[in-house]
Structures are given as structure tokens and as C-alpha cells.
Chain A
Amino acid sequence: MEQKTIYLDNNATTPMHEDVIEAVNEANTLFGNASSMHSYGREAAMAIEESRKALASLIDCDPSSIVFTSGASESNNTVFNIFRERIDLGSKRNRIVTTTIEHPSINELVKYLKNLGYHVDECPVDHSGRVDLEVMKTYLGEDVALVSVMAGNNEIGTIQPVKEIARLAHEVGAYMHSDATQAIGKIPVSMRNWDVDYLSLSGHKFYGPKGIGVLAVKAKAPHTPLIHGGHQEGGRRAGTYNTASIVGIGVAAALAERDLEEESKKLWTLREMLRKGIEERIPNVVVNGNQEYCLPGTLDVSFPHAEGESILLYLDMEGIMVSTGSACASGSLEPSYVLLASGVDIELAHGSIRFSFGRYNTEDDVAYVLEKLPPIIKRLREMSTR
């Protein structure tokens, strides 16, 4: 009998949509360098401009704001680098404010910058992983150059009040960046409505190709390329255009925009089915994150007295793929910093499992998990110290 496989790690990455695969395959024949003036070059350039429009429509900004990058990590690094340069050049605004639960491409970058002597503050979050606006206010002032807050958290799914934080940032004259990587295709994302100056996203989180992302930059916001070289992207990011992947992310963007409402509803239904099922069938569980402001497909649960990596591997044997915040799975002795920063007890962090749904999951998948998970937790708890 063929083993069932159920992929519940869509926050880590998603499979490419069949329309995306088809478009990428076709675009692979557009080999001309999009910067060339001849017909092959123009053909590739036209395909790229189509994609740019689709991305602009998805995040509600002007197409000229879209800069294609290798992914959200590059986009995030680019934004911080812009302000690092301004600080180096002697700007009086020499402080950056972010949060304690950003993605590693910001979290680790902040550690690096702090080591170099830059002044970066990380605003703490409440027990649900959410930024409290009153607390954020205490971090803001006339010396702040940039405020960077993610839209939705990859681990616990908590959605931040980005629009409100952008207003506070602008009130003190700072620029606002939001890493919206996890939010795309799950909740409405609007640069105009949120009034953010920079926004990052990554193709592979919404059924597009890997290695392609976007940094959207508002017209009047400062910019410095992270990668210097040719004049691609209006001099904002050098490197020969990755035509096929750009076409792919464009198709994915159009699908994400078209299906947003339906997908969002479906993801929340599946997530809630699983949450309720787990709470009914397994004693002593803790659901992490904010249950009101939550990405619809993300469910993070802690199982005391069952260790995360062990749960993950037992589930994997049953064909169920998830992720964990346990230290053992991280290669360090420390469990998830996101959970710890949200005030989750360290013991609970070690036993945390993230289920993240995507467009190919069904109610049958939830039923299968609810059949396999309870005996696994029971078994691990029986062999655990008390």
C-alpha cells in the first residue's frame, strides 16, 4: 500500500502551482537578456513587465515600485542596508526599530548590526506575539530612521497592526518597512492602505518559484542597491533578469489575488477543524499565538511532556510533514526565539509543533492527522520523565 503523504509545512515553502510550472517552462525559452535592445531582449523584457504589473496589483502599489530580488531575505537585507548607509553618512536619524519576533533574515541581521555598533531596538511583543501600540510608541522618536515590522509571523501566525504602526512611524518622521512574506495570498496586503514605504515578499511562499522575490519601494523612499552592477531594475538591483522565475512569480501573484478570499476562508476552516480536534482528543495542549489576529492557515500547538522533534519524526513516519520550535531540531540548545519572545514557557517551546495549511490540503488531511497524532503524543508522554 502506498503511504499517504500530507504536507502541512506550507509556511516553510509551497509547491509550485501547475499554472506557474507551465508558465516557467514556457518562459525558459525566452533566453534573451531582457536588458538587450534587440527582439529577443525586448520579448523577455515584455514578459517581465507583465509580471511586474501582476505583483503591483497583488500588493496594491505602482508597478514602478516593484524591484525583483532573489527572495525576501535579500529584500529585507536591502532595506536595512539603505538605512545603514544613511547612518554611516552621518544622518541624525541613527536608530532602527523592529520587533523581537521577526524572521531570521531580520533577526540575525539585527544581531550582526548591533555587533558592529549600530543602534537597533527590538520592541517586545505580548503573550500572543502581537506588538502593543502603546509599547511601540515608547520605542519611537525623532532619532528613528526605520521601523520594520513583519505582517504575519511564520511560526505562530500572529498578524501585526502594520497600518497603525506605519502611522506611528510616520508621525515621528521614520520610514516604514513590512516583511509580508507570510501574509501574501492569506490576508489582504495593500501598500497603499497600510501606507508602508517598503514591503518584502517571496515567491515560493505562495506557489511561485524559489529564488525569486520582491522588494516594493515607494517612489519617494530612499534606495541604495545591495548588489551593485548593471542598471537593471532602474539601478536598484543589479544582475541579469531571471526571466523565467519573474514570469513564474507573476503568475503566482495573479492566482494569489484571484483566490485570496476563497483560500483564506478554506485555510481558516481547516485550521480550526484541526485546532478543535486536537483540543478534544488530546489532554493538556496549549495553542500558541493570537487566536483573533492569526494567519488563517497557521496552527502552533505545544504538547507538554512530548518533545517537538520526536513528534515531528513520528508524524513523518506516518507521512505527515510539519515543523517544530524545539531546540533539538535547531542544532542549538535553545528552542524557538519566537515562542520565547512571546512569553511561552521554555518547556512548552520544546514541545511545539507548527501545522501550516496550503491550497492543496483537504478536510481528509485533517481527519488523518487527528487519527495519527493522539496515539503519538500518548506514546511519547508514556516514555517521558514525569
Chain B
Amino acid sequence: MTNFMSQWVYTPVVKDHFMNPRNTWQEEENFQADGIGEVGSLSCGDQMQVMIKVDNDTISDLRWLTYGCASAIASTSMMSEMAIGMSLHDAYHLTPDKITEALGGLPEHKFHCSVLGDKALRAAIDDYLEKAGRENPFKNSVAKTICECNGVTDMQIEDLVKRGEAKTLEQLQEITKFGTVCGKCKQQVSDLFDEFKHIYNV
């Protein structure tokens, strides 16, 4: 039950979105989603579901459900306001930094919560494209190279963790060969691995 007093200070924008969340899913509304994305799990302490309607490759409407703390709720709410009206391309490239910035900042250890919002959105877009039987043109465009020596991207790590192909850091290294040359990326890969394991509850 450790509390860090200084980190409890939420910005007025976070407070507003937490107290008055926008675009939450309501049963009676009977929202017909074209794509649904879900990340996180109840046992992780945060889970998000994003439902999108797509019109002319633009997100015309969005609803969400979040189980989580104030940062998680506020991040999803802010993400929903930002994403509605965005092209699929722009929505796919919406980063946690942009969401956090719009919220006026989050305490450092809460950054994790805003990572889930954009992931759930991307998952919903993936789902939409898959259902529509279309190729996913965005998949590789948002990948960031983590291991420069062997060209391992964050997307690659995410996919391997998500699909359960890399259950341990050692397995991940066996598949991708990350960190086997200069070794500079080891810590970053390890952090990402833990993060993705947490997000996808594997």
C-alpha cells in the first residue's frame, strides 16, 4: 500500500475525464461496432475494450469500457475524443504520448495506463480490417526498432508475446536474436517484454 504523495496529483483534465468520462458504452444504446479491440485483463488490474464504427476509412464513432484506475479511465476517455473523426491511418498512429499530452501529463508510474488505450484502439482497427477482409497497411508503419544490430522491432516483440510464441525472455532472444551483438538494447527489450506480458496477460 505504498503511496507516493507527489504522484497523486492529477491534472484538472485527468480529473474531468475521470469524473465525466466521454463516449462510454451504454447497453441501451445498442451500438453496432464495425471493429472491437480488447487489451489487458482483470487480473492485471486494467482492461480496456474499444468499439469503433468506420465510415469511409474514418472512425465515425467510438465507445469504450475500462476496468482500471483514474489514469486508465481518463486516458481511454481522452483517446475516444481524439480518435472520433480521425482517419484510420491517423488513429492507428495515435501514440500514448499524444494522449498523455492532451491530459496535461500523468504521473510517471501511471504512463502504463495510457499505453493500453491506444493499443485497444489499434486492436479495434485490426479487427475491423480483418473482418472487412482487407490487408492491414499500418502494421509495419508504427514499428520502432529496438535492437539496432539485428533489426528487432517493438511490434515484432509484441506479436511474439501476444501469440504466446515467446513465453520467456530467453525464448524471445532465441527467435529474434535481440541483444546478441552489442547488447545495448537488453534492458529495453526486457522492459517491453514485461509490459507486453502484462498487457496481454500471458
B window 54-103: CB within 8 A of A: 65-73
Let me know if B114 is at the binding interface, CB within 8 A.
no
Closest to B107 in A: A331
Distance (whole angstroms) from the CB of A150 to the closest CB of chain B: 15
Q: Which residue of A lies closest to B47 (CB)?
A: A385
* Set of chain B residues within 8 Å of A89, measured between Cβ atoms: none
Q: Which B residue sits closest to A306, measured CB to CB?
A: B67
> Which residues from 308 to 339 on chain A have a C-beta closer than 8 Å to any C-beta of chain B?
308-310, 313, 317, 323-333, 335-336
Range of interface residues on chain A?
Answer: 20 to 34
Cross-interface CB contact of B70 among A313, A323, A325, cutoff 8 Å: A313
Cα–Cα distance between A334 and B190 once the two chains are bound (Å): 18
> Smallest Cβ distance from A322 to chain B, in angstroms?
11
Q: Counting CB contacts under 8 A, is A305 at the interface?
A: yes
Q: How far is the CA of A155 from the CA of B2 in the complex (A)?
A: 12
Q: How many residues of B sit at the interface, in one of the four size bands?
A: 20 to 34
Contact B70 A346 (CB under 8 A): no
A386 contacts chain B at the CB level, 8 A cutoff: yes
What is the CA–CA distance of A333 and B71 in the complex, to the nearest angstrom? 14
Chain B residues whose CB sits within 8 angstroms of the CB of A330 once the complex forms? 1-3
Which residue of chain A has its CB nearest to the CB of B3?
Answer: A329
B73 touches A385 (CB 8 A): no
Contacts of A116 in B (CB 8 A): none
Q: Is the CB of B65 within 8 A of A335?
A: no
A385 and B42 contact, CB distance less than 8 A: yes
Chain A proximity of B119: nearest CB distance (Å): 14
- Complex alpha-carbon distance, A328 and B45, angstroms: 7
With A309-B70, A329-B3: A350-B42 Cβ-Cβ less than 8 Å: yes
- List the A residue with the shortest CB-CB distance to B21: A383
The answer to whether A347 and B70 touch (CB under 8 A), given A331-B109, A383-B24, A385-B65, is no
Best-surrounded residue of A104, A329, A346, A383 (most CB of chain B within 10 A): A383
Which residue in A104, A382, A386 is a CB contact (below 8 Å) of B2?
Answer: A104
Question: Is B198 in contact with chain A by the CB < 8 A criterion?
Answer: yes
- Cβ–Cβ < 8 Å partners of A347 in chain B: 42-43
- Asked if A385 and B67 make an inter-chain contact with CB atoms under 8 angstroms apart, the answer reads yes
Whole-angstrom distance between the alpha carbons of A327 and B19 in the complex?
A: 21
Say yes or no: A307 contacts B46, CB within 8 Å. Answer: yes
For chain A, residues 125 to 172, give those with C-beta under 8 angstroms from any C-beta of chain B.
Answer: 155
In the bound complex, do residue A385 and residue B109 qualify as a contact, i.e. CB atoms below 8 Å apart?
no
A324 near B198 with CB under 8 A, answer no
- Judge whether A383 and B2 touch: CB under 8 Å: no
A115 adjacent to chain B (CB < 8 Å): no
Q: Are A335 and B4 also in contact (CB < 8 A) when A309-B69, A313-B70, A329-B69 are? A: no
Bound Cα distance from A373 to B33, whole angstroms: 32
The verdict on B38 contacting chain A, using a C-beta distance below 8 Å, is yes
Residues of B within 8 A of A329 (CB): 1, 3, 69
Q: Taking A313-B18, A328-B69, A384-B66 as contacts, is the C-beta distance between A307 and B1 under 8 angstroms?
A: no
Does B153 count as interface, using CB distance less than 8 angstroms?
Answer: no
**A154 nearest CB across to chain B (Å):** 8
User: Could you count the A-B residue pairs with CB atoms below 8 Å apart for me: how many are there?
Assistant: 82
Chain A positions within 8 Å of B19 at CB level: 317
**CB of B48 within 8 Å of the partner chain:** yes
B198 to chain A, nearest CB (A): 6
Contact A331 B7, CB 8 Å, known A155-B1, A350-B42, A350-B45: yes
Residue from B21, B26, B49, B68 in contact with A328 in the complex, judged by beta carbons closer than 8 Å? B68
What residues on A are CB-neighbors of B109 within 8 Å?
A: 331-332
Asked whether A324 lies within 8 Å of B49 as measured between CB atoms, the reply is no
How far, in whole Å, are A333 and B201 apart by their CA atoms in the complex?
12
- The answer to whether A310 and B70 touch across the interface, beta carbons within 8 angstroms, is yes
* Contact code string A289-315 (vs B, CB < 8 Å = 1, else 0): 000000000000000010111100100
A377 to chain B, nearest CB (A): 13
When distances are taken between beta carbons in the complex, the residues of chain A under 8 Å from B113 are 328
Q: A134: shortest Cβ distance to chain B, in Å?
A: 30
Give A189 to B142 CA distance when docked, in angstroms.
Answer: 62
Residue of A nearest to B48 (CB): A385
Taking a contact as CB atoms under 8 Å apart, the answer to whether A346 and B69 are in contact is no
> Is B182's beta carbon under 8 Å from chain A?
no
- Complex Cα–Cα for A155 and B1 (A): 9
Which partner residue on chain A sits nearest B10 by CB separation? A313
Assess whether B175 is interfacial by the CB under 8 Å rule.
no
Chain A residue numbers with a CB within 8 Å of B67 are 305, 307, 384-385
CB of B73 within 8 A of CB of A383, answer yes
Interfacial residues, chain B to chain A (CB-CB below 8 A): 1-4, 7, 18-19, 21, 24-26, 38, 42-49, 65-73, 109-110, 112-113, 198
* Subset of 15 A-B contacts with CB under 8 Å: A155-B1, A305-B67, A307-B72, A310-B69, A310-B70, A328-B45, A328-B69, A329-B3, A350-B42, A350-B43, A382-B26, A384-B47, A384-B65, A384-B67, A385-B66
Closest 10 CB pairs of A and B: A328-B69, A309-B69, A384-B67, A350-B45, A385-B47, A327-B45, A347-B42, A346-B43, A385-B65, A331-B109
Known A-B contacts: A308-B69, A331-B4, A333-B198. Give 6 more (CB < 8 A).
Answer: A305-B42, A307-B67, A330-B1, A383-B21, A383-B65, A385-B48
